[in-house]
Structure 1
Amino acid sequence: MQPPPSAVRETVTDRLEDTLDLLQSLVGYPTVSADSNLEMVADLASRLGDCGARVDLFSDESGTKANLFATLGPEGDGGLVLSGHTDVVPVEDQDWSSDPFVLLEHEELLYGRGTCDMKGFIAAATVMAREYSQLDLKRPLHFAFTYDEEVGCLGARSLVPELRKRGIKPAMAVIGEPTSMRVIEGHKGCCEYTVRFNGLEGHGSSPDLGVNAAEYAARYVMHLLSLRNDLVQRAPVQSPFTPPWTTINVGSIHGGVAHNVIAGKAEVEWEMRPVQNSDGEFVKRSIHHFVERELLPAMQNVHPDADIVTEVIGEVAGLEVMDDNAARDLVSRLVGANGAHVVPFGTEAGLFQELGMSVVVCGPGSIEQAHKPDEFVSVEQMRSCLTMLERLGDQLTV
């Protein structure tokens, strides 16, 4: 027998109140990427453990950060992952109207750092774990809460190999980034690099006696730019992105100390946003060959200690649009969406896709509010998220 509508609404209201209470606690943890997230993940681990979940914490090398991975339901392959990142961006030099680490509700809007990006989703998923634990789950339900997404998806990049090593093979993943509860099936990757050129200083009147790091940095940049036309030609047919091809951007070039001194050091900061993982490999392979076969031999012919060092700032895999995507189809049914979209911002979704899962991005709040002062998520968006997660529960028992 179904409960009367008023009872259903009361249950939804209770879950919402519990979710907002938890969100208040989560916002109170100042988990800026530069700082620890251990208190927050310990809180979440305790709550999930109280629901009967099997909980693991995976620390980083410093011991100040940890990923949380928890499971309800049976062991085995398949099932679904609800995933979110615990870190937030800094608040320094932002003009907030209230304490960013104290949740403030005003006119149905919930203000605080991380409310939409993405502690709102984490709070909703954790509260729903109590409900899921009472169900006869037919397949595993996992919770993955990671560290350092905002600085290169470091936590997820560490978690995915750990899952592979343990033989954990979920079938689907829902990444609860703020999409205004729209269903997102794809986004470009984002790869950022800093390249340092170490040459040999000398007097500008005898350039042949030195190794001009600035000149080699310029040649490096020109090679990068020469790849742009190749990337345009490699654009997938009917690519949904704007622009439809992989882009390269040179963000900064630094080098040298004076007009009449051969530049001994130079630095290039650049990024690319692949529409497909093969483009990223194409660019890296091309630039590696150019450095190893042309630039370094020429530099070291003059000065054997000259070198070129590349620092990987972050390599965030894109979420490739797939014709067959069970996670997209499931979430579309749950939220009543008629279609899926792509977005320009990056998420951890591509890393889970590389593990063999079908992946979708869908969560409460707008990306337009993320990273800004007075970040907020609306109460209505939180209701919509809880409704989606409640409907998910029905799918986990069949």
Structure 2
Amino acid sequence: MVPDRIDSTERLAATLEMLARLVSFDTESAKSNLPLVDDVETYFRAHGVDYVKVPNATGDKAALFATIGPKIDGGVLLSGHTDVVPVAGQTWTSDPFKLRREDGRVYARGACDMKGFDALCLAMVPEFLSADLKRPIHILLSYDEEIGCRGSLDTIARFGHDLPRPASVIVGEPSLMQVADAHKSITTYRTNVCGHEAHSSKPYLGSSAIEVACALIGELYRLADDLKTAGDPSGRFDPPCSTIHVGIIRGGTARNILARECVFEWEFRGLPNVDYNLALAHMNAQIARIVAEKAADPAKRARVDTAAHHPVPGLNPEPGSLAENLGLKLARRNATITVSYASEAGQFQAAGIPTIICGPGSIDQAHQPDEYIEIDQLAAGVTFMRRLAAELS
């Protein structure tokens, strides 16, 4: 058993040391995470921890799955990602890849999202090993979470085959150590409109891709208004509805030429009970209508294609699930919350494994210059992890 109330100074110091180690690796999603993975492999080997490396298709990135305790199905998976968002264009007070400690906080890219949680898991390994676990603690460090949550899928597919299948999952995204049981889905799209160039003095001789794109974007925002009116029946989400957002528009070659091409990129964030294909179905219907209207005149014809990036499923509430009950017990909380961001949690749930989110730090500090995490949050994480070890011993 691991005592609930013992001096945590040493373990917190180990967490900060591990965090400094992890943030020193520039693991922006466009770059390889293998140097960090190699370092963690060395750490696991030094402690005699069994692990499996799960590379991506091109071999330039990998996930790590480790098991501490009995090599059996069941137990709890602690899941974190190793990639971080870019720092380009941001103004930092200090080197974003060197941990800076000041006024009860530590600053670095990924300190909050979410190498702080990764560092907690790794720093706790010695205590997990000495806890005489009766049920295993698994650790998964994934990649590409920030660009579609793709880096955990190959590992999840192996659960119950050549990897142990956890009984529950705790995803350590920043939640101020509160237990989150729900988040929205997110699907991103790229719509490409091809028209026909003509001189702008005689627009009837061509078809403006920008005009078509604007019509389609208008339809998306009309749907967004309908979703806002429909609201959130659960009353738990902020904002209280499914949302649509167009983030990028590019098109045209000159002011006096009807644009031959226009591309716009957009996203749909759906409440957990809303079909994540809802916005795409609406878009396809509007495309069919507009294309049909222009089909009679060869000069007005347009072609529109929409490509969907990998959808990230929502996390649905599962009141009374093994994961929820365990998370509330360990965090000493009486109720769950929702979070505004998407995560890998819905993928574990889609695989049939009860899942919650609970991790140190606030999402409000993520993705911005001088990203930081409160040291007190890491200390709370140490306490949470010690209770987990005691629970499984």
TM-score, structure 1 as length reference:
0.87
User: Structure 2 matches for 1:244-283, cutoff 5 A?
Assistant: 244-258=240-254, 260-276=256-272, 278-283=274-279
For residues 137-179 of structure 1, give each alpha carbon's deviation from its aligned partner in whole angstroms, at most 9, with x where no partner exists: 3333211111122222231345434547757532211111122
The one of 360, 363, 378 aligned to 1:382: 378
Partner of 1:331: helix, strand, or coil?
A: helix
Structure 1 residue aligned with 2:67:
71
Once the two structures are superposed, residues 193-231 of structure 1 have per-residue CA deviations (whole angstroms, 9 ceiling, x without a partner) of 221112222344665553432233233223323433653
Give the Å deviation of 1:388.
0.3
Q: Secondary structure at the match of 1:35?
A: coil
Equivalence map 1:1-398=2 (5 Å): 8-9=6-7, 12-163=8-159, 166=162, 168-204=164-200, 207=203, 209-228=205-224, 231-232=227-228, 235=231, 237-258=233-254, 260-276=256-272, 278-291=274-287, 293-296=288-291, 302=298, 307-313=303-309, 315-397=311-393
Q: Deviations over 1:314-371 (max 9, x none)?
A: 5332222222332122121112112111121222211222111221111112222222
Question: In terms of mean alpha carbon deviation, does 27-36 or 226-235 score higher?
Answer: 226-235
Larger deviation, residues 192-201 vs 314-323: 314-323
Deviations 1:38-76 (A, max 9, x none): 111122123224434331222223322111112223344
**Residues 169/297 of structure 1: CA separation in 2 closer, same or farther (3 Å cut):** farther
- Structure-2 separation of matches of 1:2 and 1:186: 30
Unaligned runs of 5+ in 2: none
SS of residue in 2 equivalent to 1:169: coil
* Structure 1 position 109, deviation (Å): 2.1
Q: 1:21 is paired with a residue of what secondary structure?
A: helix
Assess if the C-alpha contact under 8 Å between 1:201 and 1:211 holds in 2. Answer: yes
CA distance in 1, matches of 2:313, 2:113: 19
Q: CA deviation at 1:271?
A: 1.4
- The structure richer in helix per residue is 1
Indicate the larger mover: 272-281 or 153-162: 153-162
Tell whether the 8 Å contact from 1:52 to 1:72 is kept in structure 2 after alignment: no
Q: Is the 8 A contact 1:100 1:112 kept in 2?
A: yes
Higher mean C-alpha displacement, 357-366 vs 153-162: 153-162
2: CA distance between counterparts of 1:63 and 1:359?
29
Provide structure 1 residue ranges, at least 5 long, that are not aligned to the other structure: none
Q: Which amino acid aligns with 1:371?
A: H
Deviation (angstroms), 1:36:
1.5
Q: Could you tell me how far 1:260 is from its partner in structure 2?
A: 4.5
Aligned residue pairs, count: 392
- Asked if 1 retains the 8 angstrom alpha-carbon contact of 2:3 and 2:386, the reply is no
Give distance in 2, aligned partners of 1:4 and 1:384.
Answer: 12
Distance (whole Å) between structure 1 residues aligned to residue 211 and residue 2 of structure 2: 75
Q: Which moved more, 1:118-127 or 1:159-168?
A: 159-168
Q: Distance in 2 between matches of 1:271 and 1:327?
A: 29
Give per-residue Cα distances to partners, 1:224-273, cap 9 Å, x unaligned: 23433653576553231133321112334443334553321112222111
CA displacement, residues 260-302 of structure 1 (integer Å, 9 cap, x when unaligned) = 53321112222111012543122223333443x4345566763
C-alpha distance in 2 between matches for 1:216 and 1:2: 64
Query: Bigger shift: 202-211 or 71-80?
Result: 202-211
Q: CA RMSD in A?
A: 2.9
Q: Distance in 2 between matches of 1:204 and 1:112?
A: 51
The aligned amino acid for 1:377 is: I
CA contact (8 A) 1:52 1:133 kept: no
With over 3 angstroms needed to count, the CA separation of the structure-2 counterparts of 1:140 and 1:290, relative to structure 1, is farther
TM-score of the pair, normalised by structure 2: 0.88
Identity of aligned residues (%): 38
**Structure 1 counterpart of 2:30, one-letter code:** A
